[in-house]
Amino acid sequence: MKHLRPINQKAERIEAFLTRAGAEPGGEAETGGATAQGADELDVVGLESRPPEGPHIPLGCSLVFSPGWEVDSTGGTAGLCQPVERDLFDCHLACFWPAHVPDQLNHSPDWTGKCASAQKDWRKLDLVFP
Amino acid sequence: MSDPVAVASDRLLAPRELHSFVAAGERFVYLVPSAGIFKLDPPAAAVLDLLGASPGSEAAVVESLSERFPVGRIRETLAELEAIRAIGPLGAPRDEVVNDLPPDGFPLTTMVLNVTNKCNLACTYCYEYGEDKIVDASCGDQPKFMLDDTARDGVELLLRESGPLEVAHLTFFGGETLLNFPLLRETVAYARRRAAEEGKRIEFSLTTNATLLRADIIAWLADNEIGVTVSIDGPKEMQDRMRVFHSGKGSYETVRPKIAELLRVHRSRPIGARVTLTRENLDVRRIFEHLTEDMGFWEVGFAPVTTAPGRDYEIEEPGYERVLEQFGDLAREWLECAVENRHHGFSNVKDTLEEIHKGVSKAYPCGAGLGLMGVSTGGDVALCHRFAASPEHNIGSVAGGIDRGRQRAYLEAHHIARKTDCHTCWARPICSGGCYHEAYVRYGRTTAPNLHFCTWVRSWTHTCLEVYGELSERNPSYLARFDA
């Protein structure tokens, strides 16, 4: 780094991490992008870091699509999806409810345009801010 | 929004969570929640000032600053600031920590044994016997003195739970600790032998009011390298106001010669004083000078009295400002000594600087219930010594071990991720909501953040950041002392 000098031990660790991840400068670490140097880094983690106790259900996810009868995971309508769950691939593709970000129906129809195969190309998915 | 890449290049940038400070004429940022500290060069400071005033795109930043700095430098600076997460897209999600439990087998580093709940003093503000007590130590069903077997079980639990650590810490507490001196002697001998058998070492310390120190006890403390903290409030009129015998007589004249003898004989460990500040006892400077220069303590630490609202010794608002001002003066004095590699005994600043240096970003305000546990006279294991024998705060027993279910529930409930009041505070990496016991006495629940201390914590942390930044400029090699 040229313009910032790490002062404490944590700042040194941040700098070392950025150097290792090849993220300096250019912000690759910001988008979770991988480089050859960063290949051994766990730059992506699951939504649940503890042992999974079941499928991750986004906050307020509507599990049932039946027009006129959309319900949330508790069977009610109070907790339908809020715009706090972001960048969930499956929401983008499968969900009819246009509150998540990015949503396929209205605002980000081409979010997966560069992602022909999710298993191979998922790093090409970028962050989207509403 | 069909092309995310195009969106990214036009995006508005803004500062993320951070706290700026100036020290020795230089600009620094304290990042939240990572707790990293970076020094800014002039372009970096200019970019942060600009984006702090109003969010702007990369192009707008370059245009605004291109007369002062080369365009290439501005772009590099933007990339670096974004990489350390000092700036980011406007409206980007905050960096929140996940409420995940520490890994299984997280070692216990410190055990506090309450060797007795009796005390020969009757300090007005005592949290064990005073108005804000949690457990009825006088008439409750806990034994007055810990038995040897209980202490031995405690040692075994500590050795077992300290896992891979080579060194564990055993602290003796009370009541007045020295009322059960025979147990201390037995337990230290036993713990040394058992630790050696396990290939470990145990370090010992105790807290005392100093009234019961005698020549043989002092010699034993010195020979066994027991760390000693003396609870004392300052010069005679300050000490005698609250720290009194049951008759009401002040304790200063009793403890003064005993402390002098302790400091003269016990040279194997530094001896510290621990001062409780109350509404009537706020002359930090005078207390500090008396305890270090007149009495000879190596270190002095101050803590405001723990109290429910409305007690007549509770510190009120103007009192806190006065304390902060004096803390600031002592911190700057400490700094001048550190610049010259000299010792200064103000331990509050040293403790905070160590956390700043390491860049701790705490999930929990302290190690209670995790790396530190308190044991009651009857052998119940509690979150810390202040909750000893409280059924509500029990997490096991020395004989039966740690109740993992209760410990887990406690850790989940007290994680910083659960303290929504703290989520916008820049000081949360260090504070994390503050003392559980303070919260329990003040608000009736350990999970409450100590909101009455917020201004205090932020002001004090800011002062310590300035001291740290200045030390990093004027005597950077000193910082290595905090490495361990």
pLDDT, averaged per 10 consecutive residues of chain B (484 residues), comes to: 43 95 98 97 97 95 96 96 94 80 90 95 87 77 94 98 96 96 98 97 97 97 97 96 95 97 95 94 95 96 88 86 94 97 95 96 94 96 93 95 94 92 94 94 94 94 98 96 88
Residue of chain A with shortest Cα separation from B10: A129
Report the alpha-carbon distance of residue B450 to residue B421 in Å, rounded. Answer: 10
Cα dihedral sign, B234-B239-B241-B242: positive
Give every strand in the sheet of A4-6, ordered side by side.
A4-6, B37-40, B26-31, B18-23
Set of chain B residues whose Cβ sits within 8 Å of the Cβ of A6: 36-38
Model pLDDT, residue A70: 62
Cβ partners under 8 Å of residue B201, min gap 6: B166, B167, B168, B195
Most B-contacting residue of A89, A106, A129 (CB-CB within 10 A), to test interface: A129
Most A-contacting residue of B27, B82, B84 (CB-CB within 10 A), to test interface: B84
- Picking from A4, A5, A128, the nearest residue to B1 by CB comes out as A128
Is-contact B22 B52, C-beta < 8 A? no
B76/A3 touch (CB, cutoff 8 Å), yes or no: yes
- Picking from A8, A18, A102, the nearest residue to B359 by CB comes out as A8
* Band of pLDDT at residue A79, cut at 50, 70 and 90: low
Is-contact B306 B435, C-beta < 8 A? yes
Report the alpha-carbon distance of residue B409 to residue B394 in Å, rounded. Answer: 12
Report the alpha-carbon distance of residue B229 to residue B221 in Å, rounded. Answer: 12
ipTM greater than 0.95: no
- Picking from A3, A8, A11, the nearest residue to B41 by CB comes out as A3
Catalytic residue among A87, A90, A110, A126: A87
- Could you report how far apart the first and last alpha carbons of chain B are, in Å? 50
Distances (CA, A) of B25 to B5, B91, B474: 40, 32, 11
CA distance A129 to chain B (A): 7
pLDDT in tens, A32-72: 333 333 444 455 555 544 444 444 555 556 655 544 456 66
Is-contact B423 B103, C-beta < 8 A? no
Q: Which tokens go with B179?
A: 């009322």
Longest dimension (CA), chain A: 58
- Picking from A5, A14, A25, the nearest residue to B79 by CB comes out as A25
What is the DSSP code (8-state) at residue B362? -
Whether residue A4 lies within 8 A of chain B, CB to CB, comes out as yes
Distance of CA A69 to the CA centre of its chain: 29
| Selected residue with higher pLDDT from A103 and B268 | B268
B468/A3 touch (CB, cutoff 8 Å), yes or no: no
The pTM of this model reads: 0.81
What is the DSSP code (8-state) at residue B94? P
Report the alpha-carbon distance of residue B418 to residue B398 in Å, rounded. Answer: 30
DSSP bridge pairs for B56: B13
Cβ partners under 8 Å of residue A126, min gap 6: A31, B4, B5, B8
Whether residue A120 lies within 8 A of chain B, CB to CB, comes out as no
Most A-contacting residue of B1, B78, B358, B482 (CB-CB within 10 A), to test interface: B1
Is A87 a residue of the active site?
yes
Per residue, the 3-state secondary structure of chain A, as one string, reads CCCEEECCHHHHHHHHHHHHCCCCCCCHHHHCCCCCHHHHCCCCCCCCCCCCCCCCCCCCCEEECCCCCCEECCCCCCCCCCCCCECCHHHHHHCCCCCCECCCCCCCCCCCCCCCCHHHHHHHCCCCCC
Whether residue A3 lies within 8 A of chain B, CB to CB, comes out as yes
